[in-house]
Amino acid sequence: KYSDNLRKQLPRIPLVRRAEDFEAFVSAGRKLGDLHVGFESADPYPVTILEGDLRLANIDDPASYFRVEKMKFAGKRGEIDRTTVAYNPRITMTGIPLEAYDYVVNGKPALEWVVERQVVKTDKDSGIVNDANRYANETVGDPAYPLKLFQRVITVSLETMKIVRSLPK
């Protein structure tokens, strides 16, 4: 009767027969914990910027240059290209590995969570504006934070799946 709730609410603890397998799970758990807690210090994945290397760009106003309204995957419905994301009208990321979408959180790839959350959106009921750019500028102090966050989540997703796939059966 409560299997759906239990599957989501309780951790799934594997039952292993050998001490070596148990140690592998312990080690993987530590690595995953460190990786996920420290995700903001992960190296941004080196995506290709279609418009050119941003380190060479002459950016007069970083806050407006890196402003994100809504990220979008390339392609159209039915033929979405997840290897390319339009960050804003000035920046398009390509070369996103499809394996990064294998890391799923609550039924959705972590990268899709980032795409959904790094937007400017007004709540219909309260009228409160949720603006990822304000957080990037005022709290983090880096207008490129949403872009770097997406790149870091690629790195974390790839590393997570590498660790998970290395676990014993």
pLDDT digits (tens, 9 = 90+) for 117-158: 999 999 999 999 999 999 999 999 999 999 999 999 999 999
Cα separation, 49 vs 45, whole angstroms: 12
pLDDT digits (tens, 9 = 90+) for 44-84: 999 999 888 887 788 899 999 999 999 999 998 889 999 99
Report the chain's terminal Cα–Cα distance, integer Å.
Answer: 28
Looking at the DSSP bridge assignments, the partners of residue 122 are 129
Task: Check the CA dihedral 62-147-29-10 and report its sign.
Answer: positive
pTM of the model: 0.85
Considering the chain, what is the average pLDDT of its residues? 91
Residue 12 pLDDT greater than 70, yes or no: no
Residue 42's closest CA among 166, 158, 167?
Answer: 158
Give the pLDDT of residue 155: 97
Tokens 């790195």 belong to which residue? 155
Give the pLDDT of residue 54: 81
CB atoms within 10 A of CB 142: 14
